Structure 1
């Protein structure tokens, strides 16, 4: 039986952990997290001539959506040069997960070549935006597949915003007030307010605090508690990286928290859409808010099915479809209203 498998070689200078390793229906998945770059790297092998592509893509989609910054390589045995059903669905899953195929879709950049065929069945994808990748296809005597070489810019995490504010140093305030001595007790109370104001003014110091990103509406106290518990397990694992029990506890808790967050978020937005029923303004506000939270640069749909049944991915045609719809929707709806409800003119 033809089979496969995946492996990954990582430089010892890079701090990394294996975060997921799975084999389902002869399909292999391996993920690591590289701490230095805050990057998840995955490798995938899909068994060729496999009829059920949907189960493979379902597992792949779940893994892609669980990663914030990721690169994924693999022998997918899905030829990007063809337009069959498996290729179309695969491209849709990659795109809907917020990823982009970095291969150049051209026979000149095929990853496997025989005397009669050329194919691109080895792919590299990423959800990292605003990063210029350099991808090259390299000949190798090690395999009948060519190698994929990729370079990317080093990750510089955007720092949280820091703001300054004035606060009272109460020790300094106490000492300042103590220095005010008055022998004229008849006038002490009359100037008490002035003295207090001046003392507070001279006792102020500048402090700084970090502004955390705004909390999403679906983040509740239970999620925060789970995240805090996960962070405690992470700190325990970080202090004792060789302790496999602490590492397993952290990984299990992390996966549990991720799953709980996804379910809570799905329930929240499902209810939000139900509440917007028959309220188009609120519905569009919700859709826009969801679109703006994505990593994509704009809110334009990637593709749309036109009235003639054809599908287009051209942005101008998509905009024209929306314009035609909103221009003609009034008369169409009016024509569907029974005649007895039409106003008499």
Structure 2
């Protein structure tokens, strides 16, 4: 299989083992899946199967906050249909509620026939909310009779099977690359987005320790608060010193996230390493280098640890937000409701260039504050001044009162600590 490669794609191969203890009906077999290099996926070794009557290979991926299971499947011809149906149900039934299921393969069940094999297969698909999408003949065979007459037969044995509610476009490719016509399926809902690429985030680490060190540095700093200096100069000096100390004690850090980090934050590095061990144990068990029980026991232990980590994560989240009902419901909705995909909206300036995220708010302010001036410029000139329309004016209706430190402290304490971004001062620090 080293020579079976496609440039720009990652290959996944399931090779039929050369096992003298297992009786296979025919030579050949095996399944290959090729995944484009910019698509993140996981080979689901735990679902792969090689049996005398069927072979299947699975990968898992994610698009637009939906999890997909994609399988290549082959049913060995002239084998017991009941064995195949039973194993098919055993694999797919646990997946149908959590994944969008896509199965492509050669099932060697002719859907043109009205027989027991077709009926059992259709009932099996319907019970798992699946439908076949290929409706034309996928194999055309010809043979010559004893009288010299050439007859042809058409069968529909290859298919692309999906959930019944998935929008799709599918069909046959008119090519004689093999004795089966190639089939294809296109799903418009699968669009590669930022969820499938690594994302770098920037943040400042604000903890009790870093806040304590910052407050200590502020107390040790001598600010020029002379009343003889101009107010703007005094504030500018204070502001610059404050920002320098803030950047020193709360430096901007970067972290690379993938979609799993965002969706399953309870899976830490320890669990990730154990998952790698699990996958390696599966490979060893598959090659019969270790007992299958060793792999199964470790997998069950890891599953239990992952569930406990998930429960502990949500317990901590609920305790942390016990006094914030809005955040509590947000956590609940994230668990029980699938997230809807968000479209990226770009903002353009007057020159047609994209506005950077950090300058979006400035762009909005400039736009809305200029509305009055733009409308005023469109008004016709009038000999009457705007103030002439005002009657009985009182010039002393608005008074500025001197603010004291208590007023400033009250305002700061009422500020909400959200939406400030990394380029602003955290309200919790103030």
**Could you say which TM-score interval applies, normalised by the shorter chain?**
0.3 to 0.5
TM-score calculated relative to the size of structure 1: 0.45
Structure with higher Rg: it is: 2
Identify, as 1 or 2, the structure richer in helix: 1
TM-score (norm 2): 0.37
